[in-house]
């Protein structure tokens, strides 16, 4: 037997360890690798940020508004509040560049949130509301007033920037031609 290991009652014991079973060291739970939570998708991360931003907006109101008392008017006010952080130039009616998609020079027209950004934001907030316990029938983000507001923003921005908005047509599913199992009928015979 080598001096680096010993055997006790037929059991092999590693060097430096004791033969008593009570003193064996097993890794404790805090040494085991913990399963890492799956990273959130870009959509889920953005939805969480948007939800937190909206919650902060409600808390900053005077007086603060509880989420349970939030209605479509609060959502409309939030969308208007966000315009100050927009990056889309929207020409006003009297502007020299009104209706031009690529104006030749700078102007003093305001920057706004782009319609597409607002539309996507409302979609994420509508989903977050229900995921956080809100009922679909009381969802302020699904209100008809919100849809009307978004449509007005879309139309006014398209007009101001000279870019007509065209709704994408839904593709119709291809109709499958009936397949025959090799049998021919008089209807399927070629004309002679």
Give residue-wise pLDDT tens across range 58-89.
Answer: 999 999 999 889 999 999 999 999 999 999 88
Overall average pLDDT of the 133-146 stretch? 94
Q: What is the rounded distance in angstroms from the CA atom of residue 152 to the CA atom of residue 147?
A: 9
pLDDT computed for residue 28 by the predictor: 53
CATH no. of 42-161: 1.10.150
pLDDT computed for residue 172 by the predictor: 67
Q: How confident is the model at residue 97 (pLDDT cuts 50, 70, 90)?
A: confident
Give Cα 93 distance to the centre of its chain.
34
Domain boundaries defined on the chain: 42-161
Q: What is the rounded distance in angstroms from the CA atom of residue 192 to the CA atom of residue 186?
A: 12
Share of the chain above pLDDT 90, in %: 44
The answer, yes or no, to whether residue 141 has pLDDT greater than 70, is yes
Enter the pTM of the model.
0.64
């Amino acid at each position: 037997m080598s001096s680096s290991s010993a055997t006790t009652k037929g059991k092999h014991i590693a060097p430096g360890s004791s033969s008593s079973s009570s003193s064996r060291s097993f890794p404790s739970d805090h040494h085991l690798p913990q399963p890492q939570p799956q990273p959130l998708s870009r959509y889920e991360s953005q939805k969480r940020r948007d939800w937190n931003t909206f919650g902060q907006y409600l808390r900053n109101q005077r007086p603060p508004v509880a989420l349970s008392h939030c209605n479509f008017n609060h959502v409309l006010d939030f969308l208007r509040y966000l315009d100050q952080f927009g990056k889309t130039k929207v020409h006003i009616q009297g502007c020299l560049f009104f209706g031009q998609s690529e104006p030749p020079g700078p102007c003093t027209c305001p920057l706004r949130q782009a319609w597409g950004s607002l539309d996507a934001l409302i979609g994420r907030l509508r989903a977050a509301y229900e995921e956080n316990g809100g009922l679909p029938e009381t969802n302020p983000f699904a209100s008809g007033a919100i849809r009307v507001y978004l449509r007005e923003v879309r139309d006014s921005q398209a007009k101001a920037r000279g870019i007509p908005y065209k709704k994408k047509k839904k593709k119709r599913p291809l109709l499958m031609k009936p397949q025959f199992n090799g049998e021919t009928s008089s209807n399927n015979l070629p004309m002679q």
